[in-house]
A and B are shown apart, each in its own frame.
Chain A
Amino acid sequence: MTKARTLAEKVWDRHVVRKGEGQEPDLLYIDLHLVHEVTSPQAFDGLRLAGRPVRRPDLTIATEDHNVPTKDVDLPIADPVSRTQVETLRRNCAEFGVDLYPMNHAEQGIVHIIGPQLGLTQPGMTVVCGDSHTSTHGAFGAMAFGIGTSEVEHVLATQTLPLKPFKTMAINVTSADGTLRPGVTSKDVVLAIIAKIGTGGGQGYVLEYRGNVIENLSMEARMTICNMSIEAGARAGMIAPDQVTYDFMNGRDHAPKGEQWDAALADWATLRTDEGATFDAEVDIDGDALTPFVTWGTNPGQGLPLGGNVPDPATIVDENERIAAERAIDYMGLEAGMPLREVRVDTVFVGSCTNGRIEDLRAAAKVLDGRSLADGVRMLVVPGSMRVRFQAEDEGLDKVFTAAGAEWRSAGCSMCLGMNPDQLEPGERSASTSNRNFEGRQGKGGRTHLVSPLVAAATAVRGTLSSPEDLD
């Protein structure tokens, strides 16, 4: 009998091109490589200098997402440096034969939204991209992780990566009946996980999210959780594929068809952690105890239930953590002990590879329907892809947002990282459905609170951090 293995070990094993000898890493085959404009120019340049082709352009797909403006998208990009980067990607893709979905194309969008919606992301695959939120694709039972530009060049040239095996960590999220309380979403689950294990807790691990709460989540909600694995320090997070996964995949453009679909289903059914397999670490999360969660500080581990207060650094024993908390509270312009529900925001951002899918927009629209934004609050709603945008418009969600006073935009990364004109001003504060509350992430001097789409929408209505249950 073969040794019991975890899901991550199974996916790893089936991609080993060459087992490393001694301290050498294994050489792993990469099934899908997603490319965007920011982390690829120097990689293509490296190929050109060495006279190397892209080995498998048919396993490579590019799109424009980080830099692109989300309004006036019919005009040339105003920022000349952004424009150069986008034009460089177009030239590189044409020269090396890589398919590209450029701005205004019906399939354009954030890389991590378009892979799954095209059916390119499938169970058991290895997926990489020069972007740390590649962990998103792990929701399908794929091993998916972010890489640096040198590794992008390596994959373009060889379709492989030399890698040392990861350790494995099980994150068991369970509740009595497998559901979460009303108003609690997968975003709250993952923020609570990161607060529990810390921003370094997952370093060196692949996380596998398990338990009845995870099994009951939609694919969109699972992607939100896997997306933020990197914020706990883990390069990848995975969820075993099941009927929810198959139903999401079936019929998508690049999903297997006919006999191939049947063969794939039989294979995917084996992608589960074996009974008796051991993880290097395990963490348990009580789903019944979870409430809406928000961050108060400047890293994603500095989060608390919305009903809590800004912590008092004086009570933190660890010196490094105390200094980090003092610095964060100072940067965020908060006071120790202040109720989080009293924190007033200027801006609400709904979008990003974390929460820019159709289900996220529906959730926010449901809260906003028939209501309007609080005075002085601006709200940006940025669909994660053009398909999400069109679907939302078909469902009339754009009308709900604009009627409430929000801005309805075109697809891209937008204010998640402020590489395009969508930025916070110094000192401005946002409630954001994105993934990072780092200093200056959404614009120099900007202050970010990470929230779910439900909390984002309720906050837009009340003007202070809120959940839907705070609304009349």
Chain B
Amino acid sequence: MDAFSTHTGIGVPLRRSNVDTDQIIPAVYLKRVTRTGFDDGLFAAWRQHPDFILNIEPFSKGSVLVAGPDFGTGSSREHAVWALMDHGFRVVISPRFGDIFRGNSAKGGLVAAQCEQHDVELLWKLLENEPGTEVTVDLQERTVQAKDLTFAFQIDDYTRWRLLEGLDDIGLTLRHEGDITTFEASRPAWLPVTTPAG
């Protein structure tokens, strides 16, 4: 995973709440066995409408998505994060994220920046009035800045550290393999194994 410190790119106002992961990428696009190539499935149903925001210049080149509350609810599909990143998004700003989506974002290197509804409203207005406005997201300082508008966002310290360092979770965990082995020795005998019962 690439380290992330700051990112500047065109902001895309998505005036919708409850953008579930079925909307971000419908199930029929989940059949690939690779980790890339999901851009064609991103918002597939909505992108069929010519007036959908991602079909409008200069938003089609955006990399900072600004959405309403409850972004990424529903299905656990990490393909939602891959599709957003394949399209070029590096940051999603929303007042509230689905828990699984937020976790998946951190794994893939997409910043899920949680901020106040009020700030999202101001940013929406700015991006709609002046299309093409660039938004700078500073992970070190946890701030969003566009023109004269600056506000703070929330991301937990651990996720922020991992993103800043570009660290691989599995490698981090395997540093504690001794603890895992010790724990395994203490598990109760009645717990099941999946090998066929005989």
Residues of A within 8 A of B (CB): 17-18, 20, 22-25, 27, 29, 31-32, 38-39, 41-42, 45, 50, 52, 55, 57-61, 66-67, 79, 81-82, 84-85, 88, 99, 118-120, 122, 125, 130-132, 146-151, 153-154, 157-160, 162, 164, 199-200, 203-204, 230-231, 233-235, 253-256, 260-261, 263-264, 267, 299, 320-321, 323-324, 327, 417-419, 436, 438-441, 444-445
Does residue B15 face the partner (Cβ distance < 8 Å to A)?
yes
Q: How many pairs of residues, A versus B, come closer than 8 Å at their CB atoms? A: 213
Cα distance A320–B73 in the bound complex, in angstroms: 16
| Complex interface: chain A residues within 8 A of B161 (CB) | 23
Tell me which of B16-24, B130-138, B145-153 binds A: B16-24
Identify B180's interface contact among A159, A256, A444, CB under 8 A: A159
Whether B86 is near chain A, meaning CB under 8 Å from some CB there, is: no
Which 6 residue pairs are nearest across A and B when measured between Cβ atoms? A150-B107, A41-B33, A148-B104, A148-B78, A23-B157, A256-B190
* Interchain CB contact under 8 A, A120 and B74: no
Q: B31, A158: Cβ atoms under 8 Å? A: no
Complex alpha-carbon distance, A255 and B75, angstroms: 30
Q: Are A154 and B169 in contact (CB under 8 A)?
A: yes
Across the interface, do A120 and B194 meet the contact criterion of CB distance under 8 Å?
yes
Task: List A contacts of B22 (CB < 8 A).
Answer: 417, 436, 438-441
Query: How many B residues are at the interface, by size bracket?
Result: 35 or more
Give the complex CA separation of A57 and B179 in angstroms.
19
What are 17 A-B interface contacts by the 8 Å CB criterion?
A: A20-B158, A57-B194, A58-B194, A84-B33, A88-B33, A122-B191, A125-B191, A150-B169, A154-B173, A160-B173, A200-B69, A203-B96, A235-B99, A263-B188, A417-B27, A436-B75, A440-B22
Q: How far is the CA of A99 from the CA of B180 in the complex (A)?
A: 23
State whether B70 touches A150 (Cβ < 8 A).
no
Report yes or no: A438 in contact with B74, Cβ–Cβ below 8 A: yes
Query: What is the bound-complex CA distance between A253 and B184, given in angstroms?
Result: 23
Residue in A67, A203, A231, A444 whose beta carbon sits within 8 Å of that of B26 in the complex: A444
Distance in Å from the Cβ of B123 to the closest Cβ of chain A?
Answer: 15
A133 to B191, CA, bound (A): 22
List of B residues within 8 angstroms of A131 by Cβ: 75-76
